[in-house]
Amino acid sequence: MARKGLMEQDLSKLDVTKLHPLSPEVISRQVAHGKSTVVKAISGIQTVRFNNEVERNITIKLGYANAKIYKCEDERCPAPMCYKAYGSGKEDTPSCDVPGHVSFVDCPGHDMLMATMLNGAAIMDRALLLIAANESIPKPQTLEHLDALDNMLLEHIIVLQNKVDLIPKNVALEQHESIQKLIQKTVAAGAPIVPISAQLKYNIDVVCEYLVNKIPIPKRNFISPPNMIIIRSFDVNKPGSEVDELLGVVAGGSIVRGVLKVNQLVEVRPGMVLKDENGTSWAGNLNRWSGLARYNLHRVHTASTYAKLQLTSPVCTSIGEKLALSRRVDRHWRLIGRGQIQEGITLEVPLPCSCCIPIGVTSVKRCC
């Protein structure tokens, strides 16, 4: 039975290519500049949910929110006021057109959480870079976030000048010029700069218009085997739960290709990693993975010197995927370099035998 507000769908006749287009957006910036408030203004969803986040009023873990952007076709409703955003729970067959369906990844701005921000950047198609109008620029985290966006080779970025309601018009115009100079020689060069007030929802309709008209929808591969990048996981079990009441872990990420189907057998890599006297090995019975090379030493060329890097844990990746190098400086993580996977060892994954029978959506009966 369909939930209220959602249209009942027949999975056997569902054509995923005709669904509302979905594209991940990452929103990043300095801590306390209003990233989560912008996401809430567009999607209506509060991404700051954990107690430690609420107490400190900052984003610590990656937040998620989806939004459908509607466009009113009535001539009495001119642009940009004709654009309105709602959560994904909005009905599938509205009277208005749905030119955009976006998924936000709310990244932390604190420099000690740079690794979390890079995880969010790994699955994005485009980015919203937030700058508070009542603070000086540039900030160190802003430059690092621009480097991270450059590392992902993003072509579509929108700069949001938030909190313009807190400053005079002349100050906002001066900062607007400073922002243009800041991004002039970066990956965000030429990006539109939209003044907004996320708290009062000023110009949020302009942001929706830019998301729909200025940034194209990326082409998706629905034919290849599904591949999902997991960037976050959390436990939904309450403290003190009985063993028979425990539920599985919840994983969050993005399906970069293919389509997941009901009752489909999936594999989570790399599974559980164990260490013994010989190095690192896989718990093969947990993920059907076999074989692993020991620690590999890599050389990184920096100017006229070389540095040897040792992997502290195995990595499941593909040729061509990008990587970021960070260094701990004065108790803060700083982005110091970037690279790309050029070669590696391909490990064959054995298929499950006929006696490994699926017994539910989240569990599989195993005998090997």
What is the rounded average pLDDT for all residues in the chain? Answer: 70
In this predicted structure, what is the pLDDT of residue 295? 38
The separation between the first and the last C-alpha atoms of the chain, rounded to the nearest angstrom, is 37
How many angstroms from the chain centroid is the CA of residue 322? 15
* Proportion of the chain above pLDDT 90, given as a percent: 9
Amino acid identity, position 201: K
Cβ–Cβ under 8 Å, residues 44 and 87: yes
Using the predicted structure, report yes or no on whether residue 212 has a pLDDT greater than 70. Answer: yes
- Considering 14-28, 167-181, 323-337, 342-356, the range whose residues carry the highest mean pLDDT is 167-181
- Which of 80, 21, 70, 16 has the alpha carbon at shortest distance from 44? 70
Cβ–Cβ under 8 Å, residues 90 and 100: no
- Which of 280, 274, 347, 297 has the alpha carbon at shortest distance from 317? 347
- Considering 94-108, 132-146, 296-310, 318-332, the range whose residues carry the highest mean pLDDT is 132-146
Q: How confident is the model at residue 285 (pLDDT cuts 50, 70, 90)?
A: very low
Sorted by where each starts, the structural domains of the chain and their CATH numbers stand as 19-213 (3.40.50.300), 261-368 (no CATH)
Alpha-helix runs per DSSP H in 122-168: 140-151
Q: Which two tokens stand for residue 69?
A: 């952007």
Whether the upstream peptide bond of residue 24 has omega within 30° of 0, thus cis, is: no
In this predicted structure, what is the pLDDT of residue 16? 58
Bridging pattern class, strands 63-71 and 22-28: unpaired
Cβ–Cβ under 8 Å, residues 88 and 257: no
For the stretch 109-128, pLDDT in tens is: 544 445 545 554 556 777 88
Q: Distance (Å, rounded) from C-alpha 212 to C-alpha 80?
A: 11
> In angstroms, what CA-CA distances link 245 with 233, 238, 286, 351?
19, 10, 21, 31
pTM: 0.67
Burial of 295 (C-beta count, 10 Å sphere; 0-12/13-18/19+):
exposed
